[in-house]
Chains A and B, each alone.
Chain A
Amino acid sequence: MTSARVQTGIPEFDSMLRGGFLRGDAVMLAGSAGSGKTTIALQYLVNGVARGEPGIYLTFEQMPDQIYRDAMSFGWDLRAMEKENKFRIVCTSPKLLVEGAGPDELLAGPIKQIGARRIVVDSMSHLSMFVPDGDLRREAFRMVMYFKTSGLSSLLLWESQQEREHSFSVTDMGMSFLVDSIVLLKFIEIESSIRRAMVVLKMRGSDHDKRLREYEITPKGIVLEQAFSEYQGLMSGSPTRVGSEKFFELFGKASRSK
């Protein structure tokens, strides 16, 4: 029986999602360069293969040989999975997806060959560079609907700018409404160190963890740590300690000295 949830295979992440993403949903994974989008995406597909759900990695800019190499550094042998018809990398130009008959001409073959259930698009922001202004929303909608009608649970990567102010913008193109879930990856400076935070901004049809969780990129892939509980203003990128703790830090010494 097909599960209603699509597990990422990253245990704490699936807990944040109350068991995983909803099957067939389109999920946007947004973050600035180096935040770990590709690693999470690969882990999502690799764990899918382990669960009997073959996957496709659709890339526009990053070359397959680099993806093979990067995955192998985590112990994920994508070439072996391709030989077993459980995985495919499709590398192409965005133009070929938006012209002609759309995604079907390019993807129908690989989807059928492996019985794909998951797909990653790397990246929607790259697609936006090749689509005329005003057409991105339409073409993205077409793509998302194609994935849904093909029975694919999709993970769409978006390279967002690291905002330094209080406001943050997942996309500038109004694409947030197109997707069912949004996960944001963010760099945070704490005590002169750069740390990584993940938050689920939106998840249609399901409850989810609202907290920012720290995560690390380890030799085994992404690992989630505790939620940031001692700081506030994390979304600004430069948080401060929670008020009560700061108070004790400032005045604790003075009271002890008396």
Chain B
Amino acid sequence: MLSAEPEEPLLERLLSSDVKAQLLVLFRRNPGLIDEVDGIARRVGRKSESVVADLRDLVEVGVVEERRIGGIAVFSLNPTRDAEVQKAVGSYLMGLKT
């Protein structure tokens, strides 16, 4: 189900930092990735503290989902929500051209 959030702020929110953009690329290119914060940070060449805020924001948007494995918070792509977001953003961008 699409969020009521307008597409422009959503786009700005998704790309508000380089780190967030790198995280988006990471999850989209590697849909089978399920990892804790430290593992995700390592995979984009960073430390946990520099990705955790952006990661949580992606969870709030719904593109990334969070669950617990053995009490450890793990993150993975939500493919359904990600597809919705991509479609919404794509439509918005196409609308800008006309």
A interface vs B, CB < 8 Å? 63-65, 88-93, 95-96, 99-101, 105-106
Pairwise interchain contact A64-B38, C-beta atoms closer than 8 A: no
Q: Is the CB of A105 within 8 A of B70?
A: yes
Classify the secondary structure of B's interface with A.
mixed
A91-B32, A96-B34, A105-B70 known; 7 new pairs, CB 8 Å cut-off, are A63-B33, A63-B43, A91-B33, A91-B35, A92-B35, A96-B74, A99-B72
User: Which residues of B lie under 8 Å from residue A105 when comparing CB positions?
Assistant: 69-70
A65 touches B29 (CB 8 A): yes
Question: What total of A-B pairs shows CB separation below 8 Å?
Answer: 55
Residues A96 and B70 in contact, CB atoms below 8 Å apart: yes
Beta-carbon contact of B30 and A101 below 8 Å = no
- CB of B33 within 8 A of CB of A64, answer yes
Whether A64 and B72, one on each chain, are in contact in the complex, defined by CB atoms closer than 8 angstroms, is no
Known: A63-B30, A63-B43, A65-B29. A93 touches B35 (CB 8 A): yes
Which partner residue on chain A sits nearest B67 by CB separation? A105
Bound Cα distance from A90 to B30, whole angstroms: 9
Q: Across the interface, which residues of A come within 8 angstroms of B43, CB to CB?
A: 63
Bound: A50/B34 CA distance, A = 27
Contact of A64 among B31, B36, B69, B70 (CB under 8 A): B31
